[in-house]
């Protein structure tokens, strides 16, 4: 029996064309996914969306959740993958859809995992990618810009294919993105309090902290432990 896909959520961030929203919903239905979240759509035209979704995927459109901000859309998730066509030496390492699919299915049912796709015009911004645990690039020949709905289909297909007969495993509950973002905000306060910003820029330390901790599967308990340590550091600095 294939792994349940109900806890894998697709997020469309600032999609520009209603036809792409509808076609993406149809892709979810084809591949057995059920939850679609949409951040700040530029043109919400329900008739055009439903026409592309077809009657079969209308339920996914009707149940889609709309958000004004990315963080609100992903805050309750445990892990997040983002897509980009932009790669380079100064950018984060990227993975193929197949590689990330294998990572995703290694987590037990109940681990809420998001797959986020950017705007057709500019993709995901650096701040959006900073929220992600993995960055996906779909291999392409020459012309690397792939239609939004096609990207959704390719990645959802790879996840479904990877599921197979995956056996259930037990792991402690992972920290949500809301919990991890709270930890990073707390860390920022500590960095400022101990004078790190006098030696390097704020963005340098925060970027490297994110890179370090995004490599780890932090549990809720891990985050509470780290924040307890951070509170103690702040207390020590203030009471010198």
Query: Looking at the domain that runs over 8-163, which CATH code has it been given?
Result: 3.40.1280.10
**pLDDT score for 132:** 94
Higher pLDDT, 46 or 85: 46
Judge whether residue 237 has pLDDT over 50.
yes
pLDDT at 69: 95
Q: Percent of the chain beyond pLDDT 90? A: 57
**Mean pLDDT, residues 120-141 taken together:** 90
Most confident of 72-76, 142-146, 163-167, 183-187: 72-76
- Give residue 139's pLDDT: 87
- The chain-wide mean pLDDT, for the chain, equals 88
Q: Residue 136: how many CB atoms within 10 A of its CB?
A: 24
**Residue ranges covered by each domain of the chain:** 8-163, 177-239
pLDDT tens-place string over residues 194-222: 888 877 788 888 888 888 888 788 888 89
Coil vs helix vs strand at 108: coil
What pLDDT does 167 receive? 54
Instruction: State how far the alpha carbon of 101 is from the alpha carbons of 6, 83, 155, 202, in Å.
Output: 15, 13, 8, 34
Residue 1 has what pLDDT?
Answer: 39
User: What's the token pair of residue 24?
Assistant: 């993406």
Tell me the C-alpha distance between 196 and 105, whole Å: 39
């Amino acid at each position: 029996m294939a792994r349940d896909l109900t806890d894998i959520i697709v997020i469309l961030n600032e999609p520009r064309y209603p036809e792409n929203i509808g076609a993406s919903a149809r892709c979810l239905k084809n591949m057995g996914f059920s939850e679609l979240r949409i951040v700040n759509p530029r043109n919400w035209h329900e008739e055009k969306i439903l026409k592309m979704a077809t009657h079969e995927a209308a339920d996914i459109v009707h149940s889609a959740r709309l958000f004004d901000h990315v963080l609100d859309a992903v805050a309750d998730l445990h892990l997040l993958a983002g897509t980009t066509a932009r790669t380079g030496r100064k950018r984060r390492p990227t993975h193929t859809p197949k590689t990330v699919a294998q990572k995703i299915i290694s987590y037990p049912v109940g681990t809420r995992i998001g797959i986020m796709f950017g705007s057709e015009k500019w993709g995901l911004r650096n701040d959006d990618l900073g929220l992600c645990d993995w960055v996906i690039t779909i291999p392409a020949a020459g012309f690397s810009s792939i239609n939004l709905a096609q990207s959704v289909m390719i990645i959802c297909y790879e996840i479904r294919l990877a599921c197979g007969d995956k056996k259930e495993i037990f792991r402690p509950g992972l920290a949500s993105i809301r919990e991890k973002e709270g930890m990073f905000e707390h860390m920022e306060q500590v960095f400022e309090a101990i004078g790190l910003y006098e030696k390097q820029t704020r963005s340098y330390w925060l970027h490297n902290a994110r890179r370090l901790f995004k490599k780890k599967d932090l549990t809720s308990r891990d985050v509470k432990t780290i924040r307890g340590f951070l509170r103690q550091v702040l207390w020590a600095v203030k009471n010198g």
